[in-house]
A and B are shown apart, each in its own frame.
Chain A
């Protein structure tokens, strides 16, 4: 995020007027992990750093290293929850937050961070994931069963149109729950979820998408046998790379492994770590898949009695 001059000025004044330099350093260390204000400002250790200079340096650093949103999120937490047992009144915080919201972000109170406002902008990293950092993520894989046969029978062009519809159906369910499309190739793709409750949001999206595919097959799908789709969810660590190379991380590889070995058409398959996150009313609708290794996979499909 590019931080405009006005926002920087407001942040500097907010910091200057709300805390001492010592506290500012604690705040900076909460953001960066380690932070040496004397080294950053060039002041010798024996010389005290003026409040305004310290605030200016910290705001400059968080803005230039793309930590500004985390920094403001932290200021909000200082006001609401406090730090080391003390709450801080941060002047001009409302104006800073409004300035951020105006640039197309919204505050996600569950994760305590700013994320993109989907109505304004959607990027694959939610505007906040950092290159090279590892995040815990849930992935939803979409795979059409019998693609080669379908293309042979109905032609590439017709199938492309159908796959485009499939992509839209899944993407709508996913984006409504703040997930992102991370890759789509021909007959399938990968959607990503992170921040809080990523497993729940991934499963809710997939279940809704499965229902939509069921209704699509019922009334609109031009294929005589309907579109047979396998959905798979797996979670785990993922190092974010903006060039898309994270699609090759172990977590994603494992997802496609589950899909190819255990995925069933018209069904959603979830890995062992995902099920416990779900509300009982939903998890009780999943059935355990018998596997030789006993890895605790579960499956859901639309079934009528």
Chain B
């Protein structure tokens, strides 16, 4: 596992020597001031240690909050001088380990770290209680499109899909190839979501939003979306047939909008539609599937167990599908 150690003291780094020498783990050291920017890049297979030695209680809390909200959310606290008077607070904020001065001097062993990781990951599957923030009003659009009328407001499952790395692809590829890639992705989406009534509703150049009808009870678009993540490598080989790996990011939300036929959507004013585009463009990492808490609340429990709490976006809690190994 990749271990990121945020510390400003050399003696702390020595405590992690054994872990750094292990074949299965790597330790990267950063100054504590880099916590925020580095956290923006971390993936799920990362464990973070924050050394709070020398920090004031007032500056520790915001850092713990950052860790609590990070994509990884697996972290431990190094507290050589016993600064943290209420150790339980760290665990209440999601920490999985606490290393005091005595333990640090002995050094962190791989066996102990293995137990820490086990403890951290066991808490991820099944233990999270999802609150249910639903749209203020739900206007079910049904399980099929039969009853959906243009001009009326409905609650839909909204799936943002965007091609990743387009800057680089544009630089390296002809316009013809780009058109083919977009068409291929749209074909994949149409086929993948046909079973749950998914329709590409708005499509800009490299991204767009699919609508699936929502019956007010179940989010049905989640399984096809997970399938797209699982099968990405196969799709690259069998369907995209280009040497550059093609990936796409997805964001799923349940929200309200007035419905108009595809191609006649330019005058629609919908907070949910804006939100899902902003979510996809700004908050979802390449290749990632992110789901708002609103949408996840309507998913079966056993599915939501595969998602980790991510950062909030525009005050809406997000969950992200764990990365494939």
Q: Which A residues are within 8 Å of any B CB, using their own CB?
A: 200, 204, 207-208, 211-212, 214-215, 218-219, 279, 281-282, 285, 302-305
Contacts and interface: CB of A to CB of B under 8 A. Distances in A.
A305 B323 contact: yes
Contact of B306 (A208, A211, A281, A304): A304
Interface stretch (B96-104, B229-237, B255-263): B229-237
Contacts of A303: 324-325
A305 B230 contact: no
Given A204-B238, A215-B227, A281-B233, A302 B302 contact: no
Nearest to B306: A304
A304 B322 contact: yes
Contacts of A304: 44, 306, 321-325
Contacts of B227: 211-212, 215
Contacts of B312: none
B322 A285 contact: no
A214 B230 contact: yes
A219 B230 contact: no
A302 B234 contact: no
Contact of B245 (A208, A211, A281, A285): A281
B323 A219 contact: no
B325 A211 contact: no
A281 B236 contact: yes
Contacts, number: 52
Interface string B223-255: 100110011011011100000010000000000
Nearest to B322: A304
Contacts of B234: 204, 207-208, 282
Interface of B: 43-45, 223, 226-227, 230-231, 233-234, 236-238, 245, 300, 302-303, 306, 321-325
The 5 A-B residue pairs with the shortest CB-CB distance, nearest first, are A305-B45, A303-B325, A304-B322, A211-B230, A279-B237
12 contacts: A204-B237, A207-B234, A214-B230, A215-B226, A215-B227, A218-B300, A218-B303, A219-B223, A219-B300, A282-B234, A302-B324, A305-B323
A219 B218 CA distance: 12
Which residue, A215, A303, A305, has most C-beta atoms of chain B within 10 A?
Answer: A305
Secondary structure class of chain A's binding surface, majority of residues: helix
A281 B237 CA distance: 8
B164 to A, nearest CB: 15
B44 A305 contact: yes
Nearest to A177: B238
Contact of B237 (A215, A282, A302): A282
Contacts of B306: 218, 304
Nearest to B323: A305
Contacts of A200: 237
Nearest to B236: A281
A208 B234 CA distance: 8
A303 B44 CA distance: 13
Nearest to B305: A218
A218 B302 contact: yes
A219 B225 CA distance: 14
A147 B26 CA distance: 41
Given A215-B227, A219-B223, A305-B45, A282 B233 contact: yes
Which residue, A200, A207, A211, A304, has most C-beta atoms of chain B within 10 A?
Answer: A304
Contacts of A211: 227, 230-231
A45 B303 CA distance: 77
Given A219-B223, A219-B300, A304-B322, 5 more contacts: A211-B230, A218-B302, A279-B237, A305-B323, A305-B325
Contacts of B236: 281
